[in-house]
Chains A and B, each alone.
Chain A
């Protein structure tokens, strides 16, 4: 079952086009949404949250239109910034946010607040970027949401808290009813957590697969330039060449590539390797 379905969504915004977006987020899993800055990730999340209402296409959350505000009872959201007046305090926000959720849990709120070491009565403007992110997380988690949507939640967090956050998310995933949709450009965060990957580039979905499929299907091939000429660039999804040799992203059975006598190096690509190599050619700088 899919918790989020995005169908044929197109919208022209100031900076760029979202072109015929189609993807879905399965229930019970963590889906990582990756792409460069400016690739359309944040716009997509805002469309799902009905903050941006595209003129074309359809977005369904929990099976009903995302313009139905009732579905938000079951969603916890974390944006890349805390959009709240900076002279407010957590205690002040609590007063008007808590009553809005039917499933709000004060015990949970208190548990996360003390774990995140957040002060109740200090103005948000005195908070560090990490504290603001934790504040967003606090309000997102305190109503025990079935769907957690996060835009760059680890940005601004120190490495230790980042790991702790990953532990926390993994603990949340013990519940098979829970779904996490997680947007990031720090792909390391996803290596151990993500079940599915959606890769967006330039407003278009480039890839949508499970992590095990990615592990099986994609290979990072390193070899000499002669080998590259022998195999042909077209065999690869993307190639980067230097004087010393080439690195290419290959999809399929890598043993079919075995060329001449010289062995090539076959490695497991990281998500970062994949993003880098699958990116359109126009992005490579000519120095």
Chain B
């Protein structure tokens, strides 16, 4: 129960900032899908921009300085942030599922129910992967520094190469057989946990917030 009120803080802090991009994300995904273009690259780009702009805003207003002066420990704050990301991705997944169902009603011949579930699932795993890489970096570096920019560009580049070269190449690969999918899930969840531990360490050792 106690955790709920702390969670209110994290939601209160980030939701307002994330909401517009969250909606843009969903919209973009469907428009591109409808136009028969691979939505993954652009959609992931929007997500990346989102994490980045939240960090930038936080730095601009030195919000961490304020928030961590409230009765909340650094580690707990990091934990809540990761829980928040999980919540965010779940919501995004659910919104997309709903959207797909709508598309299915309008053009039943283009999307099968089975396809919908697996597409959303793989996409959610991609965002988890992206978040795992990005969050510790954004905790470690100030977003306006050159290091942060290089890292963000590199991450972006890798994701573009992997997912963009061929339409749905990666998604198709992971959907080909169960084994690939289980492998991807395990790797993503493990990275997320490792990412949390690293972020926690970074925050605990950080001299200046």
Contacts and interface: CB of A to CB of B under 8 A. Distances in A.
Interface of A: 11, 13, 46, 49-55, 67-70, 72-73, 75, 77, 79, 81-88, 92, 95-97, 99-101
Given A51-B208, A69-B72, A69-B76, A88 B66 contact: no
B61 A50 contact: no
A84 B67 CA distance: 9
Given A49-B69, A77-B69, A83-B62, A100 B207 contact: no
Contacts of A97: 9, 70
Contacts of A72: 69-72
A53 B8 contact: no
Contacts of B72: 69, 72, 100
Count class of interface residues, chain B: 20 to 34
Given A53-B207, A55-B207, A69-B76, A85 B71 contact: no
A102 to B, nearest CB: 8
Nearest to B4: A99
A167 B207 CA distance: 37
Interface of B: 5-6, 8-9, 11-13, 16-17, 57, 61-63, 65-66, 68-74, 76, 206-209
B13 A96 contact: yes
A108 B63 CA distance: 25
Contacts, number: 78
Given A79-B65, A100-B72, 19 more contacts: A13-B208, A51-B69, A51-B209, A54-B207, A67-B73, A68-B73, A69-B76, A72-B72, A75-B69, A79-B66, A83-B62, A84-B63, A85-B16, A87-B16, A88-B16, A92-B12, A96-B11, A100-B6, A100-B9
Contacts of A84: 61, 63, 66
Contact of A50 (B5, B8, B63, B68): B68
A13 B208 CA distance: 9
Nearest to B72: A69
A70 B76 CA distance: 12
